């Protein structure tokens, strides 16, 4: 079988891109010196995919269905997948995000046996009324745990303040009421709609041999028919829902999440250049060496918990600044004023060049860990990017280009402040 070799001229690393006859795309990233192998089998299906069209039918499923499906795939007629992994010594797990569902394992030996378990898990759904009902209690407890997590509550409150209609504002696991509506028929509907090999990706990184991987896939994978499912997203207004949302919880110190809703159309994927640009700008603007961070800490408005992040996907994009502080309104106001200045004047040239080096170093360091490699490959693949291209974009980006991008996508007036305050005593 022919491989496409993707190579970085900057680091010398390379990985193999393989389009398997079954329909699955396979990315194998061998790395010398690694003693373990990490495998990630991912579906381009996350919590925001709750309304779709398949075979001419429009289908809406309860919130939390993607996450529920992730839980149930570990069960089969011949036993639990975790029990099988225990016999190979592999460490296995799974996750559901807004955009993706991933099943993974890491092992130091018996890779072939572990990969076969992973493939069987993906290809052998087994849902009955009894097993589906049993899972409601388990996932219900998980939902309650997240409802007790101040950071998660602040983030979800923020997304609810930013987005009117886009399902990004809905909790990944759903709620107690929504998961009670999930049936085996709904799980099979989602599985048959999205768990098509043409809509999936296998990443293998670390101590990996593409020929060995392909040999296992040739034996185990069943050819998939064409992928025809189309996810439907509602129209989303440009403006935010509200500028402020507050919740009281049993916490010792208040916290805040200040988020900006980026300009995105309903069906638009993140632009690769924008993603790299925002990473650099944020490092220069709010990183540990920035003027903003220094002034916030000098004034006692933030502590070591202060952080920033960007989340992006189909039809949504958010920049978030967060942290613990006894003065959340004052801290957020200070950051908001600094964002207005950033959009008006841009970042200083010296901080920009320093941030470029920092972000470039972070991109290079991804290859230090098999799990980071696989995660980066999957995120890039499902958002239409090439992993090594981000290094080239970062290295070649100019200050003028970066400042123009940030002015284009960041509106200082399109924000929401989410605050968690202690319960009154």
- Indicate which residues carry an active-site annotation: 70
Going through 156-199 in order, the beta strands assigned E by DSSP cover none
The DSSP symbol for 382 reads H
Residue 87 structure tokens = 């016999």
User: What tokens appear for 253 in the block?
Assistant: 């110190």
Q: What is the DSSP letter of 224?
A: P
CA distances from 50 to 58, 59, 78, 95, 186 (A): 11, 8, 30, 17, 11
- Output the DSSP codes for 101-165: EEEEEEESS-HHHHHHHHHHHHH-----HHHHHHHHHHHHHHHHHHHT-HHHHHHHHHHHHH-SS
**C-alpha pair distances (Å), 270 with each of 174, 318, 359, 385:** 25, 11, 18, 9
Which 3-state string (H, E, C) describes 128-140?
A: CHHHHHHHHHHHH
- The answer to whether residues 337 and 258 touch, using CB atoms and an 8 Å cutoff, is no
Alpha carbons 391 and 374: distance in angstroms, whole number: 17
What would the two tokens of residue 95 be? Answer: 């996750």
First to last CA, the chain: 68
Pairwise CA distance, residues 120 & 246, whole Å: 45
Residues 237-252 as b or e (16 or more Cβ within 10 Å = b): eeebbeeebeeebeee
Two tokens, residue 133: 């009902």
Type and span of the H or E element at 388: none
CB 51 within 8 A of CB 230: no
Q: Kindly give the pairing relationship between strand 14-19 and strand 91-96.
A: unpaired
Q: Of 34, 311, 296, 17, which is closest to residue 172 (Cα–Cα)?
A: 311
């Amino acid at each position: 079988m022919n491989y496409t070799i993707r190579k970085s001229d900057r680091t010398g690393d390379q990985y193999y891109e393989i389009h398997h006859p079954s329909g699955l795309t396979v990315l194998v990233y061998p790395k010398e010196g690694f003693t373990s192998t990490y495998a990630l089998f991912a579906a381009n299906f996350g919590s925001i995919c709750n309304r779709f069209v398949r075979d001419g039918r429009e289908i809406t499923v309860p919130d939390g269905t993607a996450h529920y499906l992730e839980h149930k795939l570990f069960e089969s007629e011949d036993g639990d997948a975790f029990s099988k992994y225990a016999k190979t010594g592999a460490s296995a797990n799974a996750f559901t995000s807004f955009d993706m569902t991933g099943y993974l394992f890491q092992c130091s030996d018996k890779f072939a046996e572990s990969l076969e378990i992973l493939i069987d898990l993906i290809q052998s759904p087994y849902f009955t009324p009894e097993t589906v009902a049993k899972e409601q209690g388990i996932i219900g407890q998980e939902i309650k745990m997240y409802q007790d997590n101040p950071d998660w509550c602040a983030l979800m409150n923020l997304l609810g303040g930013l987005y009117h209609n886009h399902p990004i504002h809905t909790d990944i696991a759903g709620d107690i009421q929504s998961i009670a509506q999930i049936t085996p028929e709904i799980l099979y509907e989602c599985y048959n709609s999205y768990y098509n090999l043409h809509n999936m990706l296998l990443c293998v990184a670390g101590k990996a041999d593409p020929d060995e991987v392909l040999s296992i896939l040739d034996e185990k994978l069943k050819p998939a028919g064409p992928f025809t499912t189309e996810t439907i997203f509602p129209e989303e207004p440009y403006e935010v829902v509200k500028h402020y949302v507050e919740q009281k919880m049993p916490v010792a110190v208040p916290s805040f999440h200040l988020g900006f809703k980026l300009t995105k159309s309903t069906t638009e994927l993140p632009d690769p250049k924008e993603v790299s640009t925002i990473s650099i700008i944020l490092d220069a603007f709010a990183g540990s060496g920035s003027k903003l961070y220094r002034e916030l800490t000098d004034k006692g408005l933030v502590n070591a918990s202060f952080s920033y992040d960007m989340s992006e996907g189909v039809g949504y994009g958010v920049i978030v600044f967060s942290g613990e502080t006894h003065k959340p309104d004052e801290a957020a106001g200070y950051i908001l004023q600094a964002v207005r200045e950033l959009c008006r004047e841009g970042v200083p040239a010296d901080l920009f060049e320093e941030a470029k080096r920092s972000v470039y170093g972070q991109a290079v360091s991804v290859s230090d860990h098999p799990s980071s490699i696989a995660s980066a490959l999957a995120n890039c693949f499902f958002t239409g990017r090439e992993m090594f291209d981000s290094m080239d974009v970062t290295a070649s980006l100019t200050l003028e280009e970066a400042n123009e991008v940030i002015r284009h996508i960041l509106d200082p007036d399109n924000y929401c402040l989410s605050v968690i305050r202690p319960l009154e005593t």
